[in-house]
Structure 1
Amino acid sequence: MKAQSRKFIVASSAISIMALSYAAFNQSNTNPTAPVKTNSINQSTTNSLSTTSLSVATPKLKSTIQAPTNSNTPIKNQYIVVLNPLSELPSTAAKNIAQQFGGKILFVYSKAVRGFAISIPETASEQFIQAMQRNPQVNFIEQDAVIQTNLTTQSNPSWGLDRIDQNNLPLSKSFSYENTGAGVNAYVVDTGILSTHQEFTGRIQNGFSAINDGRGTEDCDGHGTHVAGTLAGTTYGVAKNSLITPVRVLDCNGSGAMSGVISGLDWIIQNGRKPAVVNMSLGGSAYSTLDTAVDNLVNNGFVTVVAAGNSNTDACNSSPARAAKAITVAATDSSDNRASYSNYGSCVDLFAPGSNIASAWIGSNTATANLNGTSMASPHVAGVVATLLESSPTATVQTITTQLLSSATANVVLNVAGSPNKLLYNTVSSVTQPTTPTSIVRISQLTGSSVIVSKLGTWRANVIATVTDSNNLPIANATVSGGFSVGGTSVNCTTNSQGQCQLNSGNISRFTSNTKYSVKNISGTNMTYASSSNIVSSVTIYR
C-alpha cells in the first residue's frame, strides 16, 4: 500500500464523485442537486443504448473555501463538517448547527469519520463557513462535491479472467481457479446492483442506499452491476460464490456526492460482516475527508480496493485513489500495455485488466456489456482478495495485501509511467499468517478537559488516553481500564489506529471542583501491560 504525504488544509469544500469507467448512458438525473461529470468514449451492449458526454464547469468558490484540486464540481451550499474527538456527539452537533443556520442535515457519521453533512441556505452560507472555522469543536470542513464512475464500453469478449490466471502472454483461452470466495462478503460501493440478474442468483444481500429516489439499491445506471459481475458473477466473476452487498452511493447517471459515499462507508463499518472486501470503482479530485473515511474502513478490518482513475494522470491527485491504506488499481489492455486512459504513479499498487471487459448489465436478467476503465480493473483485484479471504478468513488486511502484491506478476506491463510494475495474478495458495509477537504496552499520554453540560453548572470530565509500545509506536485495539475519583469508578475505552481513545465521566456537581482519572490496566490480544513504563498514569481534570 501507499506511503505518501497527506497534509490537509482546514477548509470548507463540497465535491461530487464519479464511477471510474468511460460510459455515460442517456438517462435522467435522479439527483438534481448534484452536478454530473462523466467521460463517455463509446459503448456496445446487448441492449440498444445511446451515449452522451456531459461536463460541468467548476464554479469559482469564495475565498474562504478550499476549491477542489482538479476538475470535480462543488455542490452549492452543501458541506461536510469533521469534528474533533472531544466534541459533542455528531448527531447533537448537527442538530444544533442546523437549527442555528436553518440547514438540513444530510448524513451523520460516527465511524468512517466523526461529523456530518449539511445543506445550508445560500443567504447563511458565508456566515456558516466563518462560524465553523472559529468553532473549537470543528476539525475542518469541506464543501461537498460530485463523484462518478470511470468506464468505457466495447463489443469484443472479455479476456480479463483469462489473463489473471497466468503470468505471461499469449492467453490460454481458459480461466483456472481453486477458490470461489465462498463465505466472503463483497461490498460494491457504486450505482447499486440489478439483484435479479442471473449472475448473482441467491447471493445478493440487503445493502444501503444514499440516493433518495425510491429505487433502494437497484441499479438504474449499469455500472455497479457490471462491477459486481466482474468481482463475483457466476460466469464473468473472479470470486463466483461470494456474498454480494450493494452500497448505492451513485445515481442513475453514475454520479453522486462525496457526502453520500462517506455515508456508505460509515454504514459498512457499522453493519458490515467479515471476512470482507470493499470495492470502490469511483473517484474524484483529492478530498481529505474521503481519504480519512477509506483509511478508517481499512483500520476496521475491511480490505478496500479502489480504482486509480481514468484521466491519464498521477493517481496521487485523486480520491480515493490516493488513500494511503487502500489497494489502488490501474488498468491494462490485452497486450499488457498500461491502458491509454489509466492513471499512474506511486499511489498505484498494481495493474489489472480493464479494457474491453465483458460482464453483467441492466435491462434484462441476462444482459451483458463490454466496458473499459479502471472501474473494470478494480473488481478483478477485489475478486482475488475474496478468494484469499476464503482460504484465510481471519487474515489481517496487511497480510492479505502483502500476499496479493507479492504474488503479482512482475515486469510485464508496458509504459507503467512510474507505477509499480505488478500485474494481478490469481494465486491459488493460501495466505501465510505471520506470527504476531507480544507487545509491551504503556500509557504515554493522558490529556484531560472538561465541559459544562447544564445551566446549573453540572459538568463532565473527558480524558484522551494514548497507548504506545516500547518503541513509542501507537497500539490499536487496546482496552484502557480505570476510573474517576468522582464521576465513575469504572470507565473503559478501546484505542483506534492512532493508539488513542476517549474516556468520559458521568455528570459531576458544580460544587465539585475537580476529579482524577487513574489507569488500572491495559488489555488486548498479544499485549502485556507494563505499568512501570507509563509516562503518566493519572490526570486531574478541573471544572
Structure 2
Amino acid sequence: MKKYLYFCLLTVCQIAVAQDIPPVSERAGKARSEIIKGSYIVTMDPDEPEVPGLFIAAQKKSAHMGQPAKIKEDFADNLNIDGTVENIYPSIHAVHIKMNSFEAHLLNSDKRVLSIEPDMTLTIQGAQTNPGWALDRSDGATTVLDNTYHWNANGAGRTVYVLDTGVNTSLSEFGGRAVTFWDVNDPNHTTPTWGQDCFNHGTAVADAVGGKIFGVAKGVSIISAKVTNGCTKQSYLSTHITAFDWLATNAPPGTIVNWSFGFEPGNCSVPAISTALENAMRAAYAHGVIIVVSAGNDGCNTANYSPTRIGEVFVVGATSNALLSSGKDAKASFSRTGWQIDLFAPGQGVPLYGNDGILYAWNGTSLAAPYVSGLFAIGCQRYPAECAKPQAAFDGLKSAMTPGTVTNTNGTPLTGATSLMIRQAW
C-alpha cells in the first residue's frame, strides 16, 4: 500500500532539528528544520517488475558518492518527468529528484512509487594525566575519578567515518590519521576549502573519537565526510541518504560511522520520521556498518524520532559530572530519554579541540556519541570477528559496560531508559 507522504508536506511533516549548545559560551537556542522546496525523496516499490532494473546501472561500487549524469538522465526519462534526478540510492530503491510540487503529485500516482518524502534541512546536535573529566570517567567502572585515562588497545587498524561539518585534519591531535573523503559542497575537490571545518563542530567530534589527548581511540583512522552546507550547521536529508547508500555498497563490514545529527519537532508530542533515511541506515547495517547516533538534545522520547527509534543504530545519551561525588552519573538535562538509548556517555562540559586548535568545553549528545564510536573502534581492534555483524558488536559492547549508575538529572532512579554507562574496558 502506498504511503501518501506528499500530502503532509505542509502539515505534520514540518520538523525541527536538535543541535548542540556551542562551546564555552554555551550559546543556546534551537533551529527548526525547513522543507526544501522542489526537492523530494522518492522510494520505489521493488516488487514492481520494472523497478529493480532501474537501479542496476547505479549499483556498482564507486570511489565517490553519486552517479554519472547519463545514468541519472536515463532514470528521469524512464519516470517520464521534467525534473532532475540528483542522486540514485540502489540500496533502498529510492531516488532524489528536483521537481515542482505538481509533478511530485503526478508521480505519486505511478504504481512503481511507494512513497514521496520532502527533502528537508538537518543541523548538528549540538593512559595520560589530566584527561578531562569525561575521558577520566570513561575508563572506570565507578564514578571515582583518578585523573588518569587507562587503555590497552587504541583502535589501530580500525576506521571511523565522521559525518559532520568537516574536520581540520592538519591538527596535531590526529597525527596524520585523519583524512577528508567527501565534501557535499565540492564533490570533485576543486576548491582550496574542500572539506574545511569552518563551523568548529566536526573537529571536536573527531577529537572525541580519536584525538591523541582527549580521544578514546588514539590510534584509529578517521575519515571525514563534510555533509553540512558551507560554514553552517545546516544539512539536507538527501545528503545523508546519499552517504549511507554509498556506505551500504562500498564500506567493508566493521566500518564505524558517527552520526551526530537528529530530527526534532516543535514539541515532544509531534513525531519526526523519515522512512527513507531509516531504510538507508538499515541497508548499511545489513552490509556490516556500525552506526552510532546521538540521542538528541530536547529531552524528548527517542521512540518518536528517526533514526533513534530503529534497532539498526546504536543510540547514545549524555551525562554530566554533577553527581559523580555521590556515585551517580546524572543524565544531562537536555539529553533525550527512552528505551531506544543503548548507552550513556559524558556529554556536558567535555573538553575537546575545535578546528582552530583551541580547547573548548562542549555540551550535547553529539559529543557523547563519538566517545562510543571510539570505543567501538577499540572493541573491534580486540575482537574483529564480532564487528562483521553490527548486532554482535552492539551486544558485545553493552555486555562490557557499567550498569546501574545513570540516574535522572536530580539523582532519582532513571526510568524509561537503560541505566548503562560507557566503560573503556580494553
| TM superposition score category, shorter chain reference | 0.7 to 0.9
Amino acid at match of 1:209: D
Q: What is the RMSD of the two structures over their aligned residues, measured on CA atoms?
A: 2.6
Q: Distance in 2 between matches of 1:344 and 1:94?
A: 44
Contact kept? 2:45, 2:112, Cα under 8 Å: yes
Q: Distance in 2 between matches of 1:368 and 1:105?
A: 43
Cα pair distance change 1:374/1:146, threshold 3 Å: same
Amino acid at match of 1:265: F
Contact kept? 1:17, 1:255, Cα under 8 Å: no
Cα pair distance change 1:16/1:222, threshold 3 Å: farther
Q: Distance in 2 between matches of 1:18 and 1:244?
A: 25
Is the aligned partner of 1:311 residue 2:298? Answer: yes
Contact kept? 1:18, 1:283, Cα under 8 Å: yes
Q: Distance in 2 between matches of 1:96 and 1:300?
A: 25
Cα pair distance change 1:51/1:410, threshold 3 Å: closer
Q: What do residues 337-358 of structure 1 show as CA deviations (whole Å, max 9, x unaligned)?
A: 1100000112111111111111
Contact kept? 2:131, 2:213, Cα under 8 Å: no
Contact kept? 1:280, 1:306, Cα under 8 Å: yes
The residue correspondences of 1:232-247 to structure 2 (distance < 5 A) are: 232-247=210-225
Higher helix proportion, which one? 2
Choose from 406, 410, 413 the match for 2:406.
Answer: 413
Is the aligned partner of 1:262 residue 2:241? Answer: yes
Q: What SS does structure 2 have at the residue aligned with 1:160?
A: helix
Q: Which residue of 2 is the match for residue 150 of structure 1?
A: 125
Q: Which residue of 2 is the match for residue 495 of structure 1?
A: none
Q: Report % sequence identity.
A: 28
Is the aligned partner of 1:141 residue 2:116? Answer: yes
Cα pair distance change 1:295/1:15, threshold 3 Å: farther
Choose from 29, 33, 40 the match for 1:79.
Answer: 40
Cα pair distance change 1:283/1:178, threshold 3 Å: same
Deviation at 1:276, TM superposition (A): 1.8
Q: Which residue of 2 is the match for residue 282 of structure 1?
A: 261
Is the aligned partner of 1:130 residue 2:105? Answer: yes
Choose from 317, 339, 343 the match for 1:346.
Answer: 339
Question: Which fold has the larger relative contact order, with Cα–Cα distance below 8 Å and residues 6 or more apart in sequence?
Answer: 2
Deviation at 1:306, TM superposition (A): 0.4
Q: Distance in 2 between matches of 1:145 and 1:312?
A: 22
Q: Distance in 1 between matches of 2:337 and 2:122?
A: 19
Cα pair distance change 1:133/1:333, threshold 3 Å: same
Q: What SS does structure 1 have at the residue aligned with 2:330?
A: coil
Is the aligned partner of 1:398 residue 2:409? Answer: no
Deviation at 1:317, TM superposition (A): 1.7
Q: Distance in 2 between matches of 1:136 and 1:301?
A: 32
Q: Which residue of 1 is the match for residue 86 of structure 2?
A: 106
Q: What SS does structure 1 have at the residue aligned with 2:284?
A: helix
Q: Distance in 2 between matches of 1:197 and 1:353?
A: 23
Q: Which residue of 2 is the match for residue 253 of structure 1?
A: 232
Q: Which residue of 1 is the match for residue 209 of structure 2?
A: 231
Q: What SS does structure 2 have at the residue aligned with 1:108?
A: strand
TM-score by length of 2: 0.81
Q: Which residue of 1 is the match for residue 425 of structure 2?
A: 427
Choose from 173, 178, 186 the match for 2:160.
Answer: 186
Q: What do residues 324-382 of structure 1 show as CA deviations (whole Å, max 9, x unaligned)?
A: 2111011100131110000011211111111111112112xx32221100001101111
Contact kept? 1:20, 1:307, Cα under 8 Å: no
Is the aligned partner of 1:357 residue 2:350? Answer: yes
Q: Which residue of 2 is the match for residue 383 of structure 1?
A: 374
Q: What SS does structure 2 have at the residue aligned with 1:180?
A: coil
Q: Distance in 2 between matches of 1:370 and 1:376?
A: 10
Deviation at 1:148, TM superposition (A): 1.1
Q: Distance in 2 between matches of 1:316 and 1:8?
A: 23
Q: Distance in 2 between matches of 1:421 and 1:160?
A: 17
Contact kept? 1:331, 1:342, Cα under 8 Å: yes
Q: Which residue of 2 is the match for residue 201 of structure 1?
A: 175
Amino acid at match of 2:89: Y
Deviation at 1:157, TM superposition (A): 8.0
Q: Distance in 1 between matches of 2:298 and 2:180?
A: 34
Structure 2's unaligned 5+ residue stretches are: 59-70, 264-271, 324-328, 409-413
Q: Distance in 2 between matches of 1:353 and 1:107?
A: 37
Contact kept? 1:292, 1:323, Cα under 8 Å: no
Give the greater-gyration-radius structure (CA).
1
Q: Which residue of 2 is the match for residue 299 of structure 1?
A: 286
Deviation at 1:250, TM superposition (A): 1.6
Deviation at 1:132, TM superposition (A): 2.4
Is the aligned partner of 1:370 residue 2:361? Answer: yes
Q: What do residues 304-334 of structure 1 show as CA deviations (whole Å, max 9, x unaligned)?
A: 1100000100011222222321110111001
Contact kept? 1:16, 1:256, Cα under 8 Å: no
Q: Which residue of 2 is the match for residue 89 of structure 1?
A: 54
Q: Which 10-residue stretch deviates more, 140-149 or 12-21?
A: 12-21
Choose from 125, 128, 145 the match for 1:171.
Answer: 145
Contact kept? 1:248, 1:264, Cα under 8 Å: no
Contact kept? 1:16, 1:148, Cα under 8 Å: no
Is the aligned partner of 1:117 residue 2:96? Answer: yes
Cα pair distance change 1:346/1:51, threshold 3 Å: closer
Q: Which residue of 2 is the match for residue 11 of structure 1?
A: 5
Q: What SS does structure 2 have at the residue aligned with 1:222?
A: coil
Contact kept? 2:18, 2:298, Cα under 8 Å: no
Deviation at 1:53, TM superposition (A): 4.6
Cα pair distance change 1:186/1:17, threshold 3 Å: farther
Structure 1's unaligned 5+ residue stretches are: 1-6, 24-42, 57-71, 429-543
Q: Distance in 1 between matches of 2:134 and 2:225?
A: 24
Cα pair distance change 1:16/1:278, threshold 3 Å: farther
The residue correspondences of 1:25-64 to structure 2 (distance < 5 A) are: 43-44=23-24, 53=29, 55-56=31-32
Q: Distance in 2 between matches of 1:411 and 1:211?
A: 44
Deviation at 1:136, TM superposition (A): 1.8
